[in-house]
Structure 1
Amino acid sequence: MFTSKSELFLNFVQLFPHPDCVLSLSKTIIKNRIRANTNKKISNIMAEKKAIQILEIAKNSYPAVSQNDVLCDQLKAYAKRYQELLQQKECCINKMVFIAEQRAEYSIILSLPGIEPNTAVRLMSEIGDITRFANNKQLNAYAGIDIRRFQSGKTFYKDKINKGGNKHLRKLLFLIIQNMIKLRCYGRNHNIEYYDKLKTQSYNKCHKVASIACVNKLLKLLLHLITHNIHYDYRLAA
C-alpha cells in the first residue's frame, strides 16, 4: 500500500503508530490526512481507496500492546529519525550530482539506458577515475567479477567470480543490470539483448550468471565510452 521509504508512509506512522488511532477516525478524516501528508499529487478517489484499505487492515490487526504503550512512542521516534536520515541522504546525493555535473564522464554514464543521476554519481564515486585501468580485465578485477577457476588433477570445478574487489561497486552494478531489465520497454539496449541471448535455450544460463555476464559487458562499454569521450548510442554501439 505504501513503500517503507516514502514520505507518506513515515508521516503516517508518526500520526498513527497503533491500529486504535486509525479506528477512532472516519474514512473522510483519514483520506484528508493522506492527502495532507504527501508532496505527491493524489486524487480523492485514490486517497479514499487507501483510507478504506487502512481501516480494513486496522480492523483485522491484533496489536500486542495498547496505543498508550511506550513502544508506540518509540515507533514514532524511529520513524522521525529515519525520515531525517533519508532527507540527509537526499541532500548529500544532490551535492554529489552538482559536483559530478562538472565532469565529462557524468553525462556519458547518464547516456546509458536505465541509469539515473542517483545511480550515476554512486557509480562514479565507487569506480573513481576509470581511465587509470589499462583494460577491462583490470576493471573486472577491481569490481571482483573476474573468473576464479579451480582444477585438481583431471577434475575441473565450476567457475566462480572472485568477489575480491569492491563489493559495493559489484552490488551497484548488479542492481543497474536489474533496472535495465525492468526498463527494457523504454528503449533498446545491447546489454539486455546480450542478457536475452544468454537466457536462450542454446546457452540456458541462469539469471544470476547472465546478469554477471552483463555486468562484465557494461564495464567494458563504460571504459570504452569514457576513455574515448563518446556517449552511448544504440545505433553505433557494437
Structure 2
Amino acid sequence: MATSSNGKPTVLILIANGTEEIEFVTPYDVCVRAGFSVHSIGVGLETNHFVAKCSRNIRLIPDYPSLNDTPSTLLDNGTALILPGGAAGAKTFSTDASVLRLIREYRNDGKHVACICAGTTALVASVADADAAADDSQAARKCRVTSHPSVKAEIVAQGWEYAADEERVVVDGRVVTSRGPGTALLFALTIVELLAGREKRMEVEGPMVCAEVL
C-alpha cells in the first residue's frame, strides 16, 4: 500500500466545476479524521481562477489547481483516488484524458478507485476510452458498480454489471462505488475501512455519532 511520509494512506480527491459539494467534502473530511494524508486536485478550472463552483454554488479551492500542477511523486504514491459526482463535474472527469489515464494507472497498480453518484461514469469512460487498449487487463475490467439512478442506463448500456438499487455502497475488488449525496458518509467510512481496517473505521465513526443504519 502506498503511504505518505508519516506512514498513513494517501488519498487524492478530484474536483471540478459542478462537483457535488457533499460528495467532495464528506470523503475529504472523513479521511482527514482517519489520519490520512488527503489532497484535492482541480480538473478543468483554468478559466475560473482555479476555484471550483460546485453544484449548489459553493466555491471551493483545491489543494492543487490541476493535475499538471500536482507533484508526480504524490500522484505516483497515492493509495486511493476518489471521484465525486455532480453531473457537470462528472462530465469533466469523463472527458479529461489525464483523469482517465490516472484512473487506469491506479487500477493497474492495484490501488483503490472510489466513485460516487455520477462519478461512476468517469470509471466507465476510462475503460471505453481508446487509450485503454494499451493498458493491461485490470484497468480494462468492467466490474460490479452502482451510481446515481440518473446515469444507471448509460452505465448498463456499456456492459457493466449494476448492483441492486438497495445497495448503497458496492465494493468489487479495489473499486468502490456509491449512489449519491445521501450515501456519502457511508461511502467515506467504507473507504476508511478498506484502507485502514474496521477498527479505524469504528474509531472515526463513533465520535461522529453516525446513524446505526450505517
Task: Give the TM-score of the pair, scaled to structure 2.
Answer: 0.23
Larger helix share, 1 or 2: 1
Q: Which has the higher contact order (CA 8 A, sep 6+)?
A: 2
Larger strand share, 1 or 2: 2
Task: Give the TM-score of the pair, scaled to structure 1.
Answer: 0.21
